[in-house]
Structures are given as structure tokens and as C-alpha cells.
Amino acid sequence: MSTGRLTIDLDAVVANWRALDAMTNCKTAAVIKADGYGLGSVNIAKALFKAGVRQFFVAVAEEAAPIRAELGPRPEINVFSGHMKGDTAAIRDLNLTPMLNSVEQVTHHFETLPGHPFGIQLDTGMNRLGLEMQEWAAIAGLALDQNPTLVMSHLACADEPDHPMNPHQLANFHMMTDGISVPRSLSATGGILLGPDYHFDLTRPGIGLYGADPFSDGTPVIELEFPVVQIRDVAQGEVVGYGNSWQAERASRIATISGGYADGIIRSLSDRAIFYHGKTPCKLVGRVSMDLMTIDVTDLSEDPKALSLICAEQTVDDVARRAGTIGYELLTQLGGRYTRRIYGK
């Protein structure tokens, strides 16, 4: 087939969840937003549910529908974006738990779905989502009287362990929540790695489940390889690809592989990415185009049938660093054309 092949190891996802769970003495949920960070939320949720996970988080209500359809009524599915005006029917019918982020959301939820489960998200300094300190002080009594399932916040710099923002947000979270009887949650993957002071009653690992930084001890979850469509000889001085951006300094052998920015291999990897044939690195030359990339395979002892981008020799974070981005972006940009081979169903 002329499409790339994405191999997903669900057993590795489960192993990563168990490893992160073992670092805490509290409950551990799982974040499966953005279609399970690009890897398929339904299959990931099924594997984690089988392993014992009973609390999931998604970004928006629509993401919960296929999870609820697959897993039924048992797991708790929380929605980070809260309760938007168009979400009421979905929150009710799918039995979702919105994390209410503003006074307006709190009011809307209580008016439209009285008695329906909800959580509260607080802003402890990130200035993105959540009730600010003064807002929380004004409505805390009212909100707590309605028995929220969770009070949470989110760390801005947890992937930098020594960043002063971490203890600052921790202190604010204590200031805003100490003394309440509702379960509390502050940490995603990075916060788990900061240690028990940040764990509270529930942690919410996301990126660590998928084998990427900052959980450097995690088990790799994916492999990504692309088939070679054509191999040609290029004479010294000839050019390759759009814009003549690469010129051969020697007689070269160039493999054209099926994949490009339509498949999430972002254009900033042009002239930077390294592919592997076994353990041998091969440089991408010229620009990443929509559907094709050109790789210098001159030094290989045989013509390759496929070349790997994410593999034992190179992690998703290695590739991300070459692109000037992070593993989160590469994972969530993986397109729909890949042949997906899934282990551990």
C-alpha cells in the first residue's frame, strides 16, 4: 500500500498509566482528548477501562459521544471546557461531568441541569480557564452546597520542575481549596512527576500515557513508517523538490516516500528530519510537500522498501525537537490516511 503505517501499542498505553498511577497514593484518571492525542480515543479508552480506569477527561462534550457509546454508563467522563450553551443536551444525555470554568457557566449549569453532576475548575495563575480567586470566594459556598464531584486546577509549567510557577500555583490552590471536603486535582503528567505535594485526590495523566515527554521513562507507544514509492539517481549539481531547495553535492540516490504535511509531518521538518532504515539514519532532503518526501539513501547497502520516522532509534520527542515543536503537536497532527496497526485490543 502507498500510505504510511502507524503502529499503536495499547499495552504500552496501559503500562504507562500503571507506572504513573504507581507514583501516587490517590486515584488516577486518564486524559483522552483530541481523539486520544491523535491515536484513537475509543481503542485507548477500551484498553484503559479494561485495566481499571473509571474516570476519563475530554476537552469538549462532542469528544465524549463515541467513548460513552463504546463503554456504556459506568465510567465518569469529565469535560474540561465546562458547560457551554450548546452542550446542555449532550451533557444530560451522555451523563457527562462538566468542569465549570466561570460564574456564567456555574449559573447556566444550575439553571439548565439542576442536580446534574459537575466539577469546578479554578485559575491558580495560568490565566486560561477557571474561576479566579475573587470569583471563587464569591460563589464557593453556593457551589459547594451543590456537591461538586471535583475541584481542579492546571499547572502551567509542570514540565519544568524547578520553575517558580509550580510552587506559586500550589500555594494558590491550597489557599483556594484547603478545608473543603470535595476531592481535589491539580496534576497532569508533569505534576505527577513533581511529587506527592502536587497529587491531592486525583491525577489526570495525558501525554505521559502516550509515551512522550515529560514522562521520559514511559514506554514508547507508536512507530511510524512510510513506503518508498520510487528511487532515482541524482547527479551532482541536480536539485530535488519544490523551490530547488536542495542541491546534490555528490552523486546521490534519492528515495521518494509516501507521506507529507497532509499526514502531520509538518513542513518545518524540511531538510531537518532523519528517517531510519534499520539502525541507519537517512536525511530528508528538500521540502516536505503535501503527500511526498525525498530521502537521501545513498549510503545504504540496499534499496529500502520503507523508511521509519518514529521507531526504536528515534522517539516522537526527538522528531519534535528537530521540528522546533513538542511531541503533543506531532501526535495530535497525525492524519487519517495511515494504515493503523493496533496491538493490545
pLDDT digits (tens, 9 = 90+) for 205-253: 999 999 999 999 999 999 999 999 999 999 999 999 999 999 999 999 9
One-character DSSP codes across 68-131: HHHHTTSSEEEETT---GGGHHHHHHTT-EEEE-SHHHHHHHHHHSTT---EEEB-SS--SSSB
345 pLDDT higher than 90:
no
Model pLDDT for residues 161-187, shown as the tens digit of each residue: 999 999 999 999 999 999 999 999 999
Domains in the chain (CATH in brackets) are: 10-210 (3.20.20.10), 222-343 (2.40.37.10)
Q: Is residue 1 over pLDDT 70?
A: no
Is the pLDDT at 329 greater than 70, yes or no? yes
Top pLDDT among 2 and 76 is at: 76
User: What pLDDT, on a 0 to 100 scale, did the predictor assign at position 2?
Assistant: 82
Name, in order, each residue with C-beta under 8 angstroms of 144's C-beta and a sequence gap of 6 or more. 180, 182
- Annotated catalytic residues are 33, 242
290 annotated as a binding-site residue: yes
CA distances from 257 to 5, 9, 223, 227, 274 (A): 12, 24, 16, 6, 13
Its pTM stands at 0.95
Instruction: Identify whether the C-beta of residue 203 lies closer than 8 Å to the C-beta of residue 53.
Output: no
Please give the share of the chain, as a percent, with pLDDT higher than 70.
Answer: 99
> pLDDT tens across 125-154, in order?
999 999 999 999 999 999 999 999 999 999
